[in-house]
Structure 1
Amino acid sequence: MSRTRIGIFGAGYIASVHADILGQDDRVALVGVADMVEANATRLAAEIGDAQTGATLEDLFRMEVDTVYITTPNTTHVDPVVTALGEGLNVFCEKPMATDLAGGDRIREAALASRGVYNLGMNRRYAYTHDKLKALIESGDLLPYSAQLKLNRGELLRPAWTADPSKTGGFLYETTIHQIDLLQYLFGPISTLRCAARSAISEAEFDDFSMLFTFESGVVATLSSSAHSGWSFPFERVEIYGRYATAMTEELERVRYALDLDQVVRTEDYTHIAFAEKGGYVKEDRLFIDALQNGGKPPVDVDDACALNLLLACIYESAHENREIDFTARVREAIG
């Protein structure tokens, strides 16, 4: 089978993470890198070894790529994704899909009309900690009754660009999107949601969020996220409560669980695992290339991406209007 010819559009930090992973996959040829600041493309191409460089998406097309990784800022995803799909190319786009519903609709239409495969990069699904939670649930060893998730960070200051909604689309699209994605990934379809939010120190947008979700499975979950609180460990956490059972994560470093009152608490510690591996980037890239090579379903396809995009929009709507939203009804409306 021929190698997948990949071009990377956007040469920032996350592009270098993917480039390093893909460069170790014998099924892949990293053909080129393009960035509007061509010096950035040149820098990343030098790390890859023999990739061509350019400044535009069209430059990548001329390199005869069959797959494009879109790793530009959040609010700039839609146009390059739609253009690449229109060329019949496969697309891996870093999160978020879009920062509004109209952008997501454009991508969905383009994906359905294209011979190319669309995938949204949601690496936290495949982090070692969350892989363990998923395995415990799917095996039946842990039956979730309720859960709480939280993310407290200092991103309004470091890095400061995360306080600019013109780049991020809003704090939930930049960071908390991973925890929001985990909700349906771990617990199934959401029935209702409510979000209370405030602007504690930010003049541009909400920076404190408290959310409540109910699920078709009967699970009830809360999610709390602050953009300004600081980086106190563990700033990222999932706790799941079952029948006399508890499982919890500590960032990407550890997962602890006890599945019965009489069991000891078991700990799996991933501290010494390389970041790209324990963070799920290696697995999501491998699954994406698997899908291209074997014709299977990509890890986060356009339907999954649209569902997440709708969920984010509904959370912001609930925050602005201070009311509960029937998410089941919204999904029915979106499906038509």
Structure 2
Amino acid sequence: MKKPRIGILGAGFIAGVHANILADDDRVELVGVADLVEDNAARLATRIGHAQTGSSLEDLFRMDVDTIYVTTPNTRHVDPVVAALEQGFNVFCEKPMATDLVGGDRVLAAARDSAGVYNLGMNRRYAWTHDKLKQLIDDRQLAPTSAQFKLNRGELLRPAWTADPAQTGGFLYETTIHQIDLLRYLLGPIATLRCAARQTISSTEFDDFSMLFTFVSGATATLSSCAHSGWSFPFERVEIYGRYATAMTEELERVRYALNLDDTVHTEDYTHIGFADKGGYAKENRLFVDALVNGSAPPVDAEDAAALNLLLACIYESANNNQEIDFAARRREHIG
């Protein structure tokens, strides 16, 4: 079987993370890198070998690739993804799928009609900490009844683009999207949601969020996210509660859990694990390549990505209108 031939669109930090992982995977061939600033593409191409370089998606198409990694800024995902899918290319798109419902609908329609495989990059699902939580839940050692999620950006000053909704699509699309995705990944389908939000230091967007979710399972969860809290450890945390049981994360470094009243607290420490593995990047890439090579399901397909995109839009709608939203009904109406 011919190896998948991969081109990368966008040569920033996250492109380098994916490129390093793919360069070590003998099942694929890294063919080219394109960036609006071709010098950036050249620097990344040099790091990973002798890949070709260009400045546009069309340049990648001319390199005889069959798979495109889209690692451009958040608000510039939809057009290249749709163009690639319409021509039958496989697409790995960094989060988010889109930054509005119209864009998400375009991607979903293109993916449904395409011969290519679509995947959304949601690496936090596969971080070692969250892998452990998922294992405890799937093995029925922990049956969630309620949970608390937190992810704070810390500040919107460095780099400056993180405070620019024209590039991020809004704070939730840049940072907190991971915890919002983990709600569904760990606790299952969402029934209802309500969000209260405010502008504290930003003059352009909400930067403080408090959310309440109910789930089809009967579980409940809260999620808080602040864009200006500083970097006090742990700025990222998940706590899941069951019957006389608790499991919690401390950023991506540790998991602590006790599964009954008489159980000691077990601690697993991942501080020694390399960045790509600890953060879930290595596993999500491996699963995506599995889908290309073996025909297995991609880790986050277009239907799953569209549900997340709808959820983000509903959270902002709730914040703006101060109303609870029946998300289960919205998903049936919007996605099917």
TM-score (norm 2): 0.99
Rounded Cα–Cα distance in structure 1 between residues aligned with 2:152 and 2:117: 34
**SS of corresponding position for 2:329:** helix
The aligned runs of 1:201-216 (5 Å cut-off) are 201-216=201-216
Rounded Cα–Cα distance in structure 2 between residues aligned with 1:331 and 1:48: 41
Q: Unaligned stretches of 5+ in structure 1? A: none
The aligned runs of 1:313-324 (5 Å cut-off) are 313-324=313-324
Rounded Cα–Cα distance in structure 2 between residues aligned with 1:250 and 1:304: 27
Rounded Cα–Cα distance in structure 2 between residues aligned with 1:38 and 1:155: 30
In the alignment, which residue of structure 2 is the partner of 1:280? 280
In the alignment, which residue of structure 2 is the partner of 1:78? 78
In the alignment, which residue of structure 2 is the partner of 1:136? 136
In the alignment, which residue of structure 2 is the partner of 1:166? 166
Rounded Cα–Cα distance in structure 1 between residues aligned with 2:332 and 2:95: 24
Superposition deviation, residue 159 in structure 1: 2.0
Asked if the contact 1:23/1:29 (under 8 Å) is kept, the reply is yes
In the alignment, which residue of structure 2 is the partner of 1:180? 180
Residue 293 of structure 1 pairs with residue 293 of structure 2: yes
Rounded Cα–Cα distance in structure 1 between residues aligned with 2:220 and 2:108: 30
* Poorly superposed stretches of 4+, deviation over 4 Å: none
Superposition deviation, residue 155 in structure 1: 3.3
Asked if the contact 1:86/1:114 (under 8 Å) is kept, the reply is yes
Rounded Cα–Cα distance in structure 1 between residues aligned with 2:131 and 2:160: 31
Asked if the contact 1:152/1:232 (under 8 Å) is kept, the reply is no
Rounded Cα–Cα distance in structure 1 between residues aligned with 2:311 and 2:136: 25
Asked if the contact 2:306/2:335 (under 8 Å) is kept, the reply is no
**SS of corresponding position for 1:140:** coil
Q: CA RMSD in A?
A: 0.7
The one-letter amino acid of 2:163's match is A
Residue 91 of structure 1 pairs with residue 91 of structure 2: yes
The one-letter amino acid of 1:33's match is V
In the alignment, which residue of structure 2 is the partner of 1:36? 36
Residue 265 of structure 1 pairs with residue 265 of structure 2: yes
The one-letter amino acid of 2:266's match is R
Q: Unaligned stretches of 5+ in structure 2? A: none
The one-letter amino acid of 1:279's match is G
Rounded Cα–Cα distance in structure 2 between residues aligned with 1:61 and 1:202: 40
In the alignment, which residue of structure 1 is the partner of 2:60? 60
In the alignment, which residue of structure 1 is the partner of 2:250? 250
Identity of aligned residues (%): 77
Asked if the contact 2:153/2:175 (under 8 Å) is kept, the reply is no
Deviations 1:152-205 (A, max 9, x none): 222311222111000000000000000000001001110100000000010010
**SS of corresponding position for 1:307:** helix
In the alignment, which residue of structure 1 is the partner of 2:227? 227
Superposition deviation, residue 150 in structure 1: 0.5
Aligned residues: 336
Asked if the contact 2:5/2:28 (under 8 Å) is kept, the reply is yes
Superposition deviation, residue 328 in structure 1: 1.1
Rounded Cα–Cα distance in structure 2 between residues aligned with 1:253 and 1:120: 24
Rounded Cα–Cα distance in structure 1 between residues aligned with 2:223 and 2:160: 24
Deviations 1:231-272 (A, max 9, x none): 110100000011110000000000000001101100000001
The one-letter amino acid of 1:5's match is R
Asked if the contact 1:2/1:27 (under 8 Å) is kept, the reply is no
Rounded Cα–Cα distance in structure 1 between residues aligned with 2:322 and 2:160: 28
